Structures are given as structure tokens and as C-alpha cells.
Amino acid sequence: MYYRKEKRKEYDFCNICGKQRQLTWDHVPPKCCNNHYAIKTNSWMDGIPRETSYGKNYQNGIKYRSLCEECNNKLLGANYDKTLEEFTNQVARIMLSSIILPPVIKISVQVNKLCRAICGHILAAKNFYDNECLTENKLRKYVLCEEELPPYNMSLLYWTYPYSTIAIMRDICVYPNYNKYEFPKGVISIMNAFPVAYIISTDKEKCGLFDLFSICSKDINEIIEVPVDCSSCYFPETKHLRPFAWPCNISDDEDGAVFMLGVDKCMDDSKLARHSVENINKIRSKKY
């Protein structure tokens, strides 16, 4: 189906609370995930942006005008994003360490705030308000209510992400061309950026990854030791790196190109981004 992209209205329905309000710009992924540098970006349909190819330039990261001020700056910014930043910084320190580390390291974090921050920014990654998507409505309810448990039939997976690219995809199904490695089933959304990539799935298949939703509770301030598998950037029991856009591979190599089924609007709003060499060096030398 052909979809003609239209610019989002400044006064529209907020992607989280659903109220019609003045919309603000939300960084997706948030700034703490190294999304505040100038970056070259394509829609998913345009492929990976190259230095010599066309790509839209964002001066201070990828942003969506999709959240009202209350949801953006108070609910996420002042309430949950600090926890996401702390988790991001600790994982980055692990990945950039020159010390030989054990295979799994545990990080103490307020996991219920962490999960809401991730879900909130993934909800923001659409240039339209989607009230027909059942998954979207479940995630809204979870993000807005502190005592709500995650949707019982969904998972929030994560893996260490060594790449200096950003990949955002919303509400698709992936069908791998072969069965060498496990892929998430159901409807998925991804938010990949150094040092962690996240996958929200409507299926409980873990693909060898840890499910953050599995340790959530109704206590918003509960601190849990979250296991970080330093080798999760590889396919299980291999030294074969997961592709930077995994599980939404768009290559033809043996990593396994996939057939993706999704709504045109979501495909166009989904982004692939590449940092400049200068900014890659800044990310790597940053004091986390």
C-alpha cells in the first residue's frame, strides 16, 4: 500500500497519554544513548546511509514530535530517564573496559523505571497517534501507571550493542530466510544504539536473551540485579556478531536476510542512522 508522508501537526494526540495537546520533540533513543550528535539518517526503506549517499541530517540526534510536554519532560525526562542513563553508562563502562571481565555482570538498577523509560521512547517513535494497535495501548497503560505490571504476553529483550549506528523499527513481523539462528516471533519493535539494543516483542521467545519484563514488579522503586551478558552481541555459542540491525536484517549475507511485514507508516517512520567518524571517536572516548 502506498503511503504519502505528511508532516505531524504541532497540536495533536500525544503518543503516550493519548490527549490532544501541543507536541514536543522527543529524542529516540534518548540523549543518554548517544543520540545527541549530528547524524545522517535514512528511513528504513532507503537503506543504510553512506557518507556519499543521500541521507537526512539531524543536527542533534533523531527526534520525533510525538509527545506532550508532561509525558516527555515530566513522566520520562524527570522520572524514568535517569535510571535508563545510569544503566546505559554502566553497560558502556563494561564494554569499553580493557580489563578481562566475567561472562555475565550484574548491574543494580530500578528495573521498573528502566523498562518504562525504554517503552516510553519506543512509543514516541511514530509520527502519528495509533489508537488501533492493541500492543500500543497495552504499553501506554504500563508506562502511565506505576503499579501496572508489564503486559503478560510480551517480552523486553536486550543485548550488548557494539556498533556506532542507530536502528529504530516499529511494529513489524520478521520471517528469516533460514533457521540457523533464532529470531523473535510475533510483532516486534527495536531501538538499537550503543551500548544496548532493545526489542519489544508480543511473543515470549527469548532467542538466548534476557527478558527485563520477567523481573518486573509493582514496586516502582524496587532495585534488582540485572544480568548483563557481555557476549550477547554474538549469536549463542558463537563468535558471530549479531548484525547492527538485528533482528530486522536487511542484508543478503549469511547473517540471514529477513522478510519484514509491517504498516507503511511505521516503515517510513523507522530510521537507520550513521554517525560520522568524528562523532564515533567522541562516543568511544566519552567518560561514562
133-155 residue pLDDT tens: 888 999 999 999 999 999 989 99
Q: How far apart are alpha carbons 55 and 246 in whole angstroms?
A: 21
Per-residue pLDDT, averaged over 117-132, amounts to 94
Per-residue pLDDT, averaged over 107-132, amounts to 95
Bond from prior residue into 236 cis (ω within 30 degrees of 0): no
Q: Work out the pLDDT band at 98, boundaries 50, 70, 90.
A: confident
- SS3 of the chain: helix, strand, coil, percent, to 5: 25, 30, 45
How high is the pLDDT of residue 4?
42
26-63 pLDDT, tens digit each: 999 999 888 988 888 888 777 767 666 656 778 888 99
Percentage with pLDDT > 70 across the chain: 87
Closest Cα partner for 120 from 79, 157, 61? 79
β 39-43/56-58 pair status: antiparallel
171-204 pLDDT, tens digit each: 888 877 666 778 888 899 999 999 999 999 998 8
CB distance 115 to 213 below 8 Å? yes
CB distance 90 to 66 below 8 Å? no
How high is the pLDDT of residue 181?
78
| Confidence check: pLDDT of 5 > 70 | no
Say which amino acid occupies 40.
K
Output the CA–CA distances (angstroms, integers) from residue 231 to 34, 158, 225, 226, in the order listed: 21, 12, 18, 15
CB atoms within 10 A of CB 82: 15
| Confidence check: pLDDT of 6 > 60 | no
Average pLDDT along the chain:
87
Counting Cα atoms < 13 Å in the Cβ hemisphere of 152 gives 0
Q: How far apart are alpha carbons 232 and 101 in whole angstroms?
A: 14
Percentage with pLDDT > 90 across the chain: 52
Q: Work out the pLDDT band at 288, boundaries 50, 70, 90.
A: confident
How high is the pLDDT of residue 167?
93
How high is the pLDDT of residue 261?
63
Closest Cα partner for 226 from 42, 62, 94, 35? 94
Q: What is the reported pTM?
A: 0.92
Q: How far apart are alpha carbons 210 and 64 in whole angstroms?
A: 28
